[in-house]
Structure 1
């Protein structure tokens, strides 16, 4: 039996009493299998006690898969109930803005995040850097990376440096791109990371560096 159907069968037949965290799991499964509208209907039928941070968060995740308007609506509810206090909610919102092509709203969300005392993490900044890349704003991208590097509590991963290097390669700024190849220091044996690095060096025509990495 499918996990979502199994959950519903168990619930409707009173074969199991859900613990406080289970409605959020159930809601997420419904969202994956039946879509955000079905997840919203399930949420609406929850008791006020069950509408907590976990179920609001699960509903937001489901909404991210659907329409931007609904996501914003639920985000406002979370803010009102002081549940939007983690980077996850804002990251989901920024990812949806990116998917919807509303790149100009990403910096607004990041700024609001900081204003509300929610610390951006690596993924938050990566979404913002991606938005700079899609708008070909290399100056903004470089300044943001400098801002991130100055923060001792943020450890930039290789994927972020890879995105920046790739954008400068596409713009034919070879020397500038090479300064961001420091992503090698962040790979730590990650095969995917090495594949990205080799690909970047290939686009730069750096055969010696490619051979060094292959060796």
Structure 2
């Protein structure tokens, strides 16, 4: 019986040379990448106003100087007591402020290190404009438009009109001798049953709008 042929076990110098060459090339590439310097740029933060009271914050993270093991996320402080958390990368978000003013927006690196790189936590101060700053107007027309009125009754009903550049949301009243309440209606309003005390009573009615502006009569 003929025995099956076995593969030659002779040493192949060409194959050995090819393996050595491949290993040498890989070693060169690894050494090249390890010798490359880390990026030294900074994380940038840009805040621009895009509408009345509304801004857009955009941040660009420089990897790996502010990424990887350094920052596992970012917290953006809007400067009005609110903040949002984001992942470890560049991003953008929109925020609306309650009123016009100067706000400092800051991006804080969230890191396990007690002292994360300061270049990873930029900040910017912005002057936010816009919003409704016009107070409503209100007028008492009933029982009289005069600033003084005499009555012998224990209660009084006042009525009138109110207006605003955006809209009147509420009309309230208060008596300096005690008592307060909310009138029925807005642009045309009625405050019924206001209690009066003996002597002089100063009743003030106030119109309110959504922005917190007020006007009185």
TM-score (norm 2): 0.20
Flag the structure with larger Rg: 2
The structure with more helix, counted as a fraction of residues: 1
> Which of 1 and 2 has higher RCO (CA within 8 Å, sep 6+)?
2
